[in-house]
Amino acid sequence: MTELIEEVIVPAREARTIEVKKGQILEIVDLEGQQVGDVAVWMAADPNEYLSPSHTVSSLSKLVPEVGDPVLSNHRTPLLKILRDDVGRHDLVVPCCDPERYAIDYGEPDHGSCLASLEKALVDEGLDLPLRGEMCWNVFMNNVVEDGKIVTYEPPHAAGSLIAMEAQEDLVVALSACPQDISAVNAYNPTPMALRVSA
Ligand SMILES: [Zn+2]
């Protein structure tokens, strides 16, 4: 039986951070369903070592990690181990959405983005951590490779769906509740998420 240590609500279209100690359980929870989160993770002891989706895909030789798999850093250190996954759909290929994505691809330069939300959360919480869009794991994103193309479908998962992972190191975690409402990413309706740490 685990005990909840901290819960952080991530409002729709915003981002928040949480600390997770080695051995504790991190949950990323979709409170209302069909929502994608963009997560960045840093080693507390050395923020230049951080979650790397591309290194994870490389070492696992699979596009979507599964229960039992580790999620790796840019130095291939296991940072998190997946214990439970209610959704089973994730994207580790594309970066998080950023201002240029909306300006260039959608003609909406003033649209909110995961990258801007994450940058604001780090500033608001006084954290000086390196951040780039390609560091982000797109949790619950229903991207499927079809004939060499990446096709984005609406996520079908229900309210309360979560992924639970055991921290393998002391970590700082940032989560953006993705504000994308122009494509199917969040079923056209961005909603809040939660970060939970338990032990
Ligand atoms: Zn996004």
Q: What is the pLDDT of residues 96-155, one digit of tens each?
A: 999 999 999 999 999 999 999 999 999 999 999 999 999 999 999 999 999 999 999 999
- Residue written as tokens 């998420």? 193
> How far is the centre of ligand 1, averaged over its atoms, from the C-alpha of 13 (Å)?
8
Ion ligand 1 contact residues with beta carbon within 5 A: 97, 114, 178, 180
Structure token pair of residue 20: 């997770």
Give the distance (Å) from ligand 1 centre to CA of residue 117: 9
Residue 1 has pLDDT above 80, yes or no: no
End-to-end CA distance of the chain, in Å? 9
Q: Residue 64 sits in which domain range?
A: 4-198
Please give the tally of structural domains in the chain: 1
Percent pLDDT > 90 in the chain is: 99
User: What residue has token string 């055991």?
Assistant: 166
